[in-house]
């Protein structure tokens, strides 16, 4: 099989796929039903697409907004801060306007559109980034209130991302009152209007969004972030909801003590392993330390997930997801309102990660340090036993 025959389930949209695939495969195996894996996948893919194109998913979510959409406290305040500071905001979404309007009104209020200068829906991302499609003029009511449009200078819906980023499709103007799309050619983008389809190059050119002066937020590594940063040189921010749980675990005392002891135990082994060559007793001690280190690494991993570990790290290496996210995003956070804690002129600097040949300038290991670490180890073991 080549790479194109192996679908990747790498985002929140893939969770229903994974669940459906798992359940159907289990059902077939349990009942001794033969099946072609590719045909099974294609059928499920068609079913998922039908749920989206039929509008049934949008209707179910709109009927029970509180069950499906978080209010995202602080979002309105953050948009107010950006707007009052003269920042120009735009929305580009693959969803239809009626759905976005309901959600944004819920979060921001009836006047949500005031925050955005441009609104683009049905954008067909990622094709929006590389297909030249014209703009069309066309919801967020549930999330931001009926006035949610006041926050955005530009609003683009049904953007068809990721095609929005590389297909040159023209923009079309939308009339939200009569729910119709205009046939008139869009020659310029006007503040407060709502557009359908379109492409990223026209949006960037007509709105004057240039290079590093743009910070683009997205929750999908490939559909949202890849094209803007690679094609246009925009700054990108990844929204990763799972990050909040990872940070909570990392701030737990048990996790911190595990990591502290793991790092120091590794340093002790590196410092004293040469003595094992001449002394059998020392060799037994070193081997015991190595076994303990292996168990400790597994314990740290299982704190995040017993089967898969952390979403971002696999032992001392980054996961594939983490590597791609770091490649295609300048910053990442669990939710947009987290940015409220920083001044608009705040500059984030990346950490300097040491390469294998670089000196970490760590504190030398000594006997007194080891005695303290032994006490920490016993305390750690008691904590693990209590947790079990």
Three-class HEC string of the chain: CCHHHCCCCCCCCHHHHHHHHHHHHHHHHHCCCCCCHHHHHHHHHHHHHHHHHCCHHHHHHHHCHHHHCCCCCCHHHHHHHHHHCCCCCEEECCCCHHHHHHHHHHHHEEEEEEECCEEEECCEECEEECEECCEECCCEHHHHEEEEEEECCEEEECCEECEECCCEECEEEEECCCCEECCCCCCCCCCCCEEEECCHHHHHHHHCCCHHHCEEEECCHHHHHHHHHHHCCCEEEEECCCHHHHHHHHCCHHHHHHHHHHHHHHHHHHHHHHHHHCCHHHHHHHHHHHHHHHHHHHHHHHHHCCCCCCCCEECCEECHHHHHHHHHCCEEECCHHHHHHCCCCCCCCCCCCCCCCCCCCCCCCCHHHHHHHHHHHHHHHHHHHHHC
* Domain limits, the chain: 9-54, 75-239, 242-310+363-388
Give mean pLDDT, residues 235-239: 94
pTM for the full model? 0.77
pLDDT of 136: 44
pLDDT score at 326: 92
pLDDT for 377 equals: 62
pLDDT of residue 385: 59
* pLDDT per residue as tens digits for the range 301-336: 999 999 889 999 988 889 988 999 999 999 999 999
Asked if pLDDT for residue 2 goes beyond 60, the answer is no
pLDDT at 5: 67
> What is the third-level CATH fold of 75-239?
Rossmann fold (3.40.50)
């Amino acid at each position: 099989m080549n790479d194109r025959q192996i679908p990747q389930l790498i985002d929140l949209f893939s969770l229903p796929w994974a669940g459906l695939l798992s359940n159907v495969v289990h059902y077939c195996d349990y009942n001794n039903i033969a099946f072609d894996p590719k045909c099974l996948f294609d059928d499920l893919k068609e079913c998922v697409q039908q749920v989206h194109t039929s509008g049934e998913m949008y209707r179910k979510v709109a009927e029970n907004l509180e069950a499906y959409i978080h209010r995202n406290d602080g979002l309105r305040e953050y948009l107010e801060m950006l707007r009052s500071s003269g920042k120009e905001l735009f929305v580009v979404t693959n969803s239809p306007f009626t759905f976005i309007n309901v959600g944004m009104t819920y979060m921001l209020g009836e006047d949500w559109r005031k925050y955005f200068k441009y609104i683009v829906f049905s954008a067909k991302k990622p094709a929006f980034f590389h297909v030249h499609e014209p703009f069309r003029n066309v919801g967020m009511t549930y999330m931001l209130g009926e006035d949610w449009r006041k926050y955005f200078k530009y609003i683009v819906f049904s953007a068809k991302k990721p095609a929005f980023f590389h297909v040159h499709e023209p923009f079309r103007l939308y009339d939200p009152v009569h729910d119709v799309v205009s046939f008139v050619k869009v020659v310029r983008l006007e503040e407060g209007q709502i557009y359908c389809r379109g492409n990223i190059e026209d949006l960037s050119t007509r709105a004057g969004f240039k290079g590093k002066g743009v910070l683009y937020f997205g929750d999908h590594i490939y559909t949202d972030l890849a094209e803007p940063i690679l094609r246009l040189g925009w700054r990108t921010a990844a929204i990763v909801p799972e990050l909040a749980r990872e940070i909570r675990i990392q701030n737990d005392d048990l996790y911190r003590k595990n990591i502290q002891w793991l790092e120091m135990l590794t340093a002790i082994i590196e410092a004293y392993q040469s003595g094992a060559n001449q002394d059998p007793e020392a060799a037994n001690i070193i081997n015991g330390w190595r076994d303990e280190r292996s168990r400790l690494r597994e314990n740290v991993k299982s704190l995040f997930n017993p089967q898969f570990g952390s979403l971002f790290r696999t032992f001392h290496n980054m996961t594939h997801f983490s590597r791609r996210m770091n490649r295609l995003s300048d910053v990442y956070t669990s939710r947009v309102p987290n940015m409220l804690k920083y001044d608009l002129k705040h500059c984030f600097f990346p950490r300097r990660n040491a390469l294998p040949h670089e000196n970490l300038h760590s504190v030398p290991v000594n006997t007194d340090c080891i005695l303290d670490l032994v006490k920490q180890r016993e305390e750690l073991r008691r904590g693990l036993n209590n947790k079990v």
